[in-house]
Amino acid sequence: MSVGDTGYSKCLAAAVLVTAAALAAPASAQQRLSLSERLERLEQQASGRGGAQGSIELVNQIQALQSQVQVLQGQIEELRHQLSEAQGRAKDQYIDLDSRIGRIEGRSGPAAAPAAGPGPVDQGLQDIELGTPPQGDTNSSLTPGDAQLAPPDEAGNAAPLASDSPGADLPPDAADPEAEKRAYDEAFSALKDGRYAESARRFQTFIAEYPNGDLTGNAYYWLGESYYVTQNYRVALETFNTLLSRFPQNQKAPDALLKTGYCQYELKQWDAAEATLNSVVETYPNTTVARLAQGRLRALKLENRR
């Protein structure tokens, strides 16, 4: 091979290499660009999937919290309902307890009228036994004008209840004790049977007919009770106060003082209720009415009334 041929071959080889390099460079650049784009695309996709997942988790958490709130609200409503029922049962149980204690104590015979102090409380319910009502405060006095609790038409209809009594035209102290007892029993029977309006009318008539009777103080208490159980708290409060002012030594005085505090509580007279209930605790310590008063005082505190 000549020198000319050799030079030509080298030139041809060089041209091939240059051409190959020229062709290879764009392919490499294209490959690098494709990889970059793919990486960016993958990052965007990964970021997109992470944001959606985060939103889903947040929604799930919100839904879980909403469910918990609904459960708590249901529990609160249930507790409110249970509290309302418990308050209603407590009122019913008080009268029922009153009745049971009276039946037990009534069998032991009537008790003498007690002096003011803790003693009357444990005997103050024995007049529940309709067949053997106790003797009230025989030293108590009540003028006929105190019968004004009964409306004029009701007071005027009092005669039929006492018409059987041979002593109906005599002064109250000389009236037939059996007629007095019978009128009292009829009024109390209406109260026990849940005929509260009739019971109130009969007790009003009884007070008008026997203003100085042995059972008049007790009649005032049960008249107030007939108003209390029908949620006529204002009239009940006036009736209990009348008992306390006219018959302070009556065996029902401790219960009347307790119910005075209850009425003030129901009427939202918080300060007066607290003072009255504290008076029950101080005046009649270690008694049933004192324990009941303490319970209502705790309720005042728990309800943030005090």
108 vs 152: CA distance, rounded Å:
39
pLDDT at 272 over 80: yes
Structural domain contains residue 162: yes
Position with higher pLDDT, 57 vs 34:
57
Kindly write down the DSSP assignment for every residue of 273-294, as one continuous string.
Answer: HHHHHHHHHHHSTTSHHHHHHH
pLDDT in tens, 204-225: 999 999 998 999 999 999 999 9
Helix axes 177-192, 216-228, angle to 10 degrees: 20
**What is the number of structural domains in the chain?**
1
Which CA distances in Å does 27 have to 30, 31, 36, 40, 141? 5, 6, 14, 20, 125
Task: Please give the DSSP secondary-structure letter assigned to residue 133.
Answer: P
User: What integer pLDDT is reported at residue 198 of this predicted model?
Assistant: 95
Place of tokens 């102090």: 117
Domain that holds residue 264: 107-302
In a domain? residue 18 = no
Q: Which residues contact 135 (CB under 8 A, 6 or more apart)?
A: 110, 111, 112, 113, 214, 215
Element (H, E) at 69: helix 3-106
8 within a domain of the structure (yes/no): no
> CA 138 to CA 116: how far, in whole Å?
14
The band of 177, judged by pLDDT with boundaries at 50, 70 and 90, is: confident
Query: How many whole angstroms separate alpha carbon 77 and alpha carbon 71?
Result: 10
The answer to whether position 72 is within a domain reads no
Q: Indicate the angle between helix axes 233-246 and 216-228, nearest 10 degrees.
A: 160
Question: Is the confidence at residue 89, as pLDDT, over 50?
Answer: yes
SS3 content of the chain, % helix, strand, coil (to 5): 75, 0, 25
Within-domain flag for 278: yes
Q: What is the mean pLDDT of residues 108-114?
A: 38
Contact 45, 37 (CB under 8 A): no
Give mean pLDDT, residues 64-72.
Answer: 74
**CATH number for 111:** 1.25.40.10
Dihedral of alpha carbons 234, 235, 241, 245, sign: positive
Residue 157 is encoded by which pair of tokens? 């209809």
Give domain status of residue 167, yes or no: yes
At 302 the pLDDT is 86
Q: Tell me which residue has tokens 């889903």.
A: 56
The answer to whether residue 92 sits within a structural domain is: no
- DSSP, collapsed to helix, strand or coil, labels residue 231 as coil
| Residue 260 · residue 237 · CB < 8 Å | yes
Q: What DSSP designation does 248 have? A: T
pLDDT at 130 over 90: no
Say whether pLDDT at 249 is over 80: yes
294 band by pLDDT with thresholds 50, 70 and 90: very high
Per this entry, what is the length of the chain? 306
pLDDT at residue number 43:
63
Q: Evaluate whether residue 56 is within a structural domain.
A: no
- C-alpha distances in Å from residue 47, one per residue of 33, 35, 57, 58: 21, 18, 15, 17
Question: pLDDT averaged over the chain?
Answer: 70
120 Cβ contact list (under 8 Å, min separation 6): 114, 250, 251, 252, 253, 254
**Rounded distance between C-alpha atoms, residue 136 and residue 212, angstroms:** 10
